[in-house]
Amino acid sequence: MTLAAIETTGLTKRYPGGRGVADLDLAVRRGEIFGFLGPNGAGKTTTMKMILDLIRPTSGTIRVLGLDPVAQGAELRAQIGYLPGELVLEGAENVGELLGFFARLQGHVDPAWVSELSERLELDRTRKVKNLSKGNKQKVGIVQAFMHRPALLVLDEPTSGLDPLMQQVFLNLVTEAKAAGQTVFMSSHILSEVQEVADRVAIIKDGRLVTVGTVESLQRQAVSQVEIRFGESFRTEEFTGLAHVGGVRVEGNTLHCVVDGSVDALIKQAAHYRVDALFCHKPDLEAIFMDEYVKEGAPVVH
């Protein structure tokens, strides 16, 4: 059995308007939380819908939980919990009745687990679905995705409409799912929440994969802001030609610079002087994301 929960090779979807996905090679490991990042129109939702066989690719291959989404779709979807990015819920029934309908469709759903999910999300199951706010409809969507404890959760902007407290409840559910051996493949515009829970992240730009890695590995590759406060005067020119060091700026006895890669050369040069303090500011996931998006490359799919 393959170790990948999701594996795509050369996955491509072309639309008449030019937007889509091109040559996507992606491997999501079983049991990990995988963040899939990109702005609107980058190809996130298109990729998720191809994984679920809601739309068909132009070319390329997809395997999900070791199965072919086209040939083995019914078997596969029974093992997936899906929350779409545009969740539409209307109807005269109340929340409890709708969740009961979802449970009967899915089968093998523990009513006690549905009750626990609803309570943790503060979801009132007596309210009419048509009268729910966007945030409460999102809670219904989260419950239906998690209710059957699926092997794979595919979550498109799952915290849209949730307040900060409920966002944290959701993140707790995600980490618990991972601890239970489930795989989570999620997109989000709230990069701080992805940074909090994701084992790895991928950034997609104009339908093409830009980078994949752990947050830590992406931070190591990204530019860091470094500040060194010396206890004595120093020669600025000794720091301007160092490997991986740029943007050197001096204020009194304080050196400011950026480091793209290893800080080894900078630290060794600084050691020639008395150092009173050193600060290295690693970029967060949002800074890494923005840095990738100002780089040249990754043409729009045609």
Distance, in Å, from the CA atom of 124 to the CA atom of 36, rounded to the nearest integer, reads: 31
> Quick check: is 231 in a domain?
yes
Looking at residue 40, its pLDDT comes to 79
- Is there a single domain that holds both residue 127 and residue 114? yes
Query: 31 lies in a domain?
Result: yes
Structure tokens at 89: 């819920």
CATH number, domain containing residue 274:
3.30.70
Q: Which of 218, 241, 258 is the last residue of a domain?
A: 218
Q: Where a domain ends, among 218, 243, 267?
A: 218
Instruction: Report the number of distinct structural domains present in the chain.
Output: 2
Within a domain: 10: yes
Structural domain of 258: 223-281
Is residue 171 a part of any domain in this protein? Answer: yes
Q: Per-residue pLDDT for the chain (302 aa), expressed as one digit of tens each? A: 457 999 999 999 998 876 789 999 999 999 999 999 887 788 899 999 999 999 999 999 999 999 999 999 889 989 999 999 888 888 889 999 999 999 999 888 999 999 999 999 999 999 999 999 999 999 999 999 999 999 999 999 999 999 999 999 999 999 999 999 999 999 987 778 888 899 999 888 888 888 888 877 776 666 788 999 999 999 999 999 899 898 999 999 999 998 887 889 999 999 999 999 999 887 666 666 666 665 644 433 33
| Domain annotation covers residue 288 | no
Q: What integer pLDDT is reported at residue 301 of this predicted model?
A: 37
Specify the pLDDT at position 220: 66
SS (H, E, C) the chain: CCCEEEEEEEEEEECCCCCEEEEEEEEEECCCEEEEECCCCCCHHHHHHHHCCCCCCCEEEEEECCECCCCCHHHHHCCEEEECCCCCCCCCCEHHHHHHHHHHHHCCCCHHHHHHHHHHCCCCCCCEHHHCCHHHHHHHHHHHHHCCCCCEEEEECCCCCCCHHHHHHHHHHHHHHHHCCCEEEEECCCHHHHHHHCCEEEEEECCEEEEEECHHHHHHHCEEEEEEEECCCCCCHHHHCCCCEEEEEEECCEEEEEEECCCHHHHHHHCCCCEEEEEEECCCHHHHHHHHHHCCCCCCCC
Shared domain for 273 and 170, answered yes or no, is no
* pLDDT score at 262: 81
The strand pair at 33-37 and 200-205 is best described as parallel
Total-model pTM: 0.77
- Are 177 and 266 in the same domain? no
State the pLDDT at residue 216.
74
